[in-house]
């Protein structure tokens, strides 16, 4: 059994729930990524933030990214996978929720991110197309 921990990307960068969206945008730029986890002061996962969230939920609505915080956009319970969960379970979660990135938790601690690319590298070539197709249906991906 291959676990999420074995194929995930470690050393994940978070944006603090009290940090501004302008700070988040700089982190997204600096790390060349399109989304990142929002972490609370207790280091627990509060949500996910995408570059699109900053544009649509803040800027397009007339908000100020220098004062609006990442925590203001942390809605609902994020879709996650356990570090020791089997990769097949993680893939089923990605397909079910149509997400390209899953925060990987060990208990309550964020230990990594499992991305569509991580999963594709671990799958047999014959399964990669199915995964990408099911996650990437037009207009349905959330992260």
Question: What pLDDT, in 10s, does the model give residues 17-30?
Answer: 999 999 999 999 99
Residue 13 falls inside a structural domain: yes
User: pLDDT digit string (tens) for 61-78?
Assistant: 999 999 999 999 988 789
Q: 37: domain CATH number?
A: 3.10.580.10
**Which of 86, 101, 117, 108 shows the shortest CA–CA distance to 51?**
101
Comparing 80 with 121, the larger pLDDT belongs to: 80
In a domain? residue 118: yes
Q: Which residue has the higher pLDDT, 41 or 58?
A: 58
141 in a structural domain: no
| Residue 140 belongs to some domain of the structure | no
42 within domain boundaries: yes
Residue 143 is assigned to a structural domain of this protein: no
CB 54 within 8 A of CB 77: no
Domain of residue 26 covers 4-135
Mean pLDDT taken over the chain: 87
pLDDT score at 110: 92
Is the pTM for the entire model greater than 0.85? no
What pLDDT score was predicted for residue 88? 86
Specify if 52 maps to a domain.
yes
Number of domains in the chain: 1
Domain assignment present for 142: no
CA trace torsion 139, 140, 142, 143 (10° rounding): -80
């Amino acid at each position: 059994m291959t676990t999420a921990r074995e194929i995930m990307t470690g050393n994940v960068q978070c944006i603090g729930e009290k940090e501004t969206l302008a700070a988040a945008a700089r982190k997204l730029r600096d790390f060349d990524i399109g989304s990142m986890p929002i972490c609370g002061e207790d280091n627990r996962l509060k949500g996910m933030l995408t570059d699109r969230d900053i544009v649509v939920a803040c800027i397009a609505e007339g908000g100020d990214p220098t004062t609006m915080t990442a925590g203001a956009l942390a809605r609902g319970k994020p879709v996650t996978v356990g570090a020791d969960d089997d990769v097949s379970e993680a893939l089923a979660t990605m397909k079910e929720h149509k997400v390209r990135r899953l925060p990987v938790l060990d208990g309550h601690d964020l230990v990594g991110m499992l991305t569509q690319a991580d999963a594709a590298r671990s799958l047999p070539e014959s399964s990669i197309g199915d995964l990408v197709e099911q996650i990437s249906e037009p207009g349905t991906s959330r992260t």
